[in-house]
Every structure is written in C-alpha cells, then in structure tokens.
Amino acid sequence: MSAFRVEVRVMPRAALLDPQGQADEHALHALGFGEVARVRVGKHLVLEVKAADRDEALARARAMCDRLLANPVTEDYDLAVETGR
C-alpha cells in the first residue's frame, strides 16, 4: 500500500446558473479586468488515499465522488492522482 494524493475538482454543471461565478465576474469587471468573459466557482478537495496502486486510488476516489463528494444532479467532477509517496 502506498499513499496517493488525489485532487478532486467539483464544478457546478455548465448548464446551471452559477451566481457565485457571476458575482466574481462582475467584481473583476468593476476592477478593470474587462478581458474576463466568464467565471465559474467550484470546489477543490485534496484527499490522501492509501491504495495498492494508482489505478486503485483513482477507482476508489471516483467511488467517493459518486457517492458523496459530488452531486450528479448539480455538479460535475474530475480527478487527478499524484504519484504515491
């Protein structure tokens, strides 16, 4: 078993209104960053996962997302696994 660092990015579904992203976008425009076309706000979770190998860490983390960390009705997620330490 080794420890893997799994980074999970959870974002509101693209089709859904993201009022936090809109508020940030408006604030950026007000500060003069007119080049910003769209801002979306999501969540970044960092997990330390013990697993036999990278694939297992990924599979387990995916199960965690499906079960708890992301809501399939309102959110999408993606994962990145860093090499075990």
Partner 1 sequence: MTRVAVIVFPGSNCDADTLAAAREAGAEAYFVWHRDTDLQQADVAILPGGFSYGDYLRSGAIARFSPVMAAVANHARAGGAVLGICNGFQILCEAGLLPGGLMRNAQLRFLSRPAWVRVERTDTPFTHLYEPGEVLELPIAHGDGRYVADDRAAAELEASGRVVWRYVRDNPNGSTNDIAGVCNAGRNVVGIMPHPERRTAPVLGGQDGARVFHSMEARHATQHAVDVRAVGDRHLRV
- By CB under 8 A, tell whether 69 contacts partner 1: yes
Residue 32 beta carbon to partner 1: minimum distance, rounded to whole angstroms: 23
HEC per residue, the chain: CEEEEEEEEEEECCCCCCHHHHHHHHHHHHCCCCCCCCCCCCEEEEEEEEECCHHHHHHHHHHHHHHHHCCCCCEEEEEEEECCC
Task: Tell me the closest approach of the beta carbon of residue 54 to partner 1, in angstroms.
Answer: 25
Using the contact rule CB under 8 A, the part of the chain among 29-37, 47-55, 57-65, 67-75 near partner 1 is 67-75
Among the listed residues 1, 3, 23, 52, the single contact to partner 1 using CB under 8 A: 23
Least Å distance between CB 43 and partner 1?
Answer: 8
